[in-house]
Amino acid sequence: MSGQADGPPIGLRHRATLAVDESLTVPGLAGTFPPFRDMPPVLATTCLVAFVEATCIEALRPYLEPHQRTVGIHVDLGHTAATPIGMRIAAEVELIAVDGRRLRFRVQCRDDVEVIGAGFHDRAIVDAPKFVARAQAKARRPA
């Protein structure tokens, strides 16, 4: 299953940082979601979730075969404090459970001042070519 002998180990930890700019704010997403246009210019929850996912992907990369990827399957993350443009955020993830292809991470996110979010994120290991083929077949099915 894995690029390293036994797959990702329980206790695997990874940390990443990111600078918050306008594109990561709630109004920065207004091109896709127009109601966000007049919201406060702070880190969007959707961007926090994407950052957590990216951090988990980075943590797992050394443990996967070349044809494998991981996909997000569940997010349970509280976003408890606002982060303005110009601050940095950090995500710290720890792999706390492996059940076959399902992986569970404990997550904590901080900005330059405080904890801004915490919770859990689950991912599943997939065979990327097979996964893409199934998605493409689904797109060809009549509605």
pLDDT in tens, 57-103: 999 999 999 999 999 999 999 999 999 999 999 999 999 999 999 99
The yes-or-no answer on residue 45 being catalytic is yes
Query: How far apart (Å, rounded) are the C-alpha atoms in residues 44 and 39?
Result: 10
Query: How far apart (Å, rounded) are the C-alpha atoms in residues 64 and 51?
Result: 20
The yes-or-no answer on residue 121 being catalytic is no
**Active-site choice (22, 45, 65, 67):** 45
pLDDT above 80 (res 122): yes
| pLDDT of amino acid 2 | 45
| pLDDT of amino acid 53 | 98
Name the DSSP letter for residue 58.
Answer: H
Residue type, 47: C
Prediction pTM value: 0.93
pLDDT above 70 (res 1): no
**Active-site choice (25, 79, 83, 121):** 79
> Span 113-117, mean pLDDT?
98
Q: Which residue, chain included where needed, has tokens 């950090």?
A: 90
The yes-or-no answer on residue 53 being catalytic is yes
> Span 15-40, mean pLDDT?
98
- Whether the CB-CB separation of 1 and 7 falls below 8 Å is answered with yes
Looking at the chain, the whole-number percentage of residues with pLDDT higher than 70 is: 96
| pLDDT of amino acid 7 | 83
**Active-site choice (53, 55, 83, 121):** 53
Structural domains of the chain, with CATH: 13-140 (3.10.129.10)
